[in-house]
Amino acid sequence: MRAITFVMASALLLSVTPASATPDSTPYLPAPTGRHPVGVTSLHLVDASRPDPWVPAVNRELMVSLFYPAASARGPKKQYLTPAESAAVLEEGGITTVPPDTLSTVRTNAVVDARPVGRRHGLPLVVLSPGYKRPRATLTTLAEDLASHGYVVAVVGHTYENVATAFPDGRFAPCVSCEVVHDPAFWQKLGEGRAADVSFVLDQLTGPLRDHRGANLVDAARIAMGGHSVGGASSLGAARADARIRAAIDVDGVLSTPVPPEGMSQPVMLLGRQDNFAPGAPSVKSWADAWPLLTGWKRWLVVAGMSHPSFTDIGVLVPQLGIQPGAEVPGERGAAITRTYVRAFFDLHLRGVPQPLLDRPSASYPEVSVVEPSS
């Protein structure tokens, strides 16, 4: 049976195997756990001051999904992907057992352009960055949950770094960067570009002309960032480059660009698979090298039984598509663990709420262990 693989650098990130069954119902994302309904708006942003790093003939152009607490759960829900994006994602993964537009039918929870609720400039902002080749939509489960707990969440689509970006005017951007992924300086270039993307998005959401729906809720003094895979690694780089980012979390991402010798003082949490990031595991070196250079609050957590996609919507959706995900932890359990620990980190560092969960083992989450390196 043929395996479907996604690769970042030379490391295997995801291996799933087609099952004999095909999905018999509409795929869905788990409901958010907070008390607020969730709204979402799509932002089309153009940085006229910066050429695109992958297509220098044009200005850098981004799509951002902005999630926020909403006044009502009534209204049309956000489409997960367009049919064209869905087809590109499934083709890139070699998934042929479902119709090409399947991911455009995924049931989400956020209401499109719902009326925001919250005090002006009163809510913390979290920026999320997806893994390489992955659309920003793959972090929807996490983003919806954070918004339901009173966060504004900006999920950034890094154009030409994923297999499919659809723009409002119908244009479709492919993964141009995939053509040069083997260049020696590729990951440094990608990390620097993502940091610039995030700084530009922060300018748009916190500047004097912030006219995007939900942006007026943002407290510019309480901003943090997280991401999955290279998006998580990029979060640390973005925080080093932009002092507005007060804390950063790397979810299952090898630190492809090392922390510099002068170190990093913002709070950092590293959250990853036990079989990849526990001491002695295959990908632990980048975290171990960075650890003594993280001079502020820091935690290193590993989760048993999770695979790389378990931290994203992929872990929830692939079983619904009739595909074996290759993880011991069920998809919705993986989503619950990710949501809980990521939110705890942001609650601690953006809201000042103590989080014993991050300090010791929890009977509610026995899969999670705290790693305590010697330095």
Report whether 43 contacts 64 (CB < 8 A). Answer: yes
> Does 166 map to a domain?
yes
Number of domains in the chain: 1
CATH number for 190: 3.40.50.1820
> Structural domain of residue 252, as residue ranges?
4-370
pLDDT score recorded for residue 23:
52
Amino acid letter, 257 = T
Which tokens sit at 182? Answer: 């083997």
96, with CB counted inside 10 A (0-12, 13-18, 19+), is exposed
- In sequence order, what DSSP letters do the residues of 184-231 get, joined into one string? TTHHHHHHHHHHHHHHHHHHHHHSTT--STTGGGEEEEEEEEEEETHH
Tell me the CA end-to-end span of the chain in Å, nearest whole number: 45
> Does 196 map to a domain?
yes
> Does 375 map to a domain?
no
pLDDT score recorded for residue 325:
79
> Does 105 map to a domain?
yes
The Cβ of residue 56 has, within 10 Å, a number of other Cβ atoms equal to 10
> Does 12 map to a domain?
yes
Distances (CA, A) of 158 to 59, 130, 258: 13, 8, 21
Q: What is the biggest distance separating any 2 CA atoms in the chain, rounded to whole angstroms?
A: 56
> Does 327 map to a domain?
yes
Taking only the tens of pLDDT, the chain with its 375 residues reads 223 333 333 233 333 444 433 555 899 999 999 999 999 999 999 999 999 999 999 999 999 999 999 999 999 999 999 999 999 999 998 999 999 999 999 999 999 999 999 888 999 999 999 999 999 999 999 999 999 999 999 999 999 999 989 999 999 999 999 999 999 899 999 999 999 999 999 999 998 777 788 899 999 999 999 999 999 999 999 999 999 999 999 999 999 888 999 999 999 999 999 999 999 999 999 999 999 999 999 999 999 999 999 999 999 999 999 988 789 999 999 999 999 999 999 999 999 999 999 999 999 999 999 999 875
- Give Cβ neighbours of residue 366 (< 8 Å, ≥ 6 apart): none
> Does 180 map to a domain?
yes
> Does 178 map to a domain?
yes
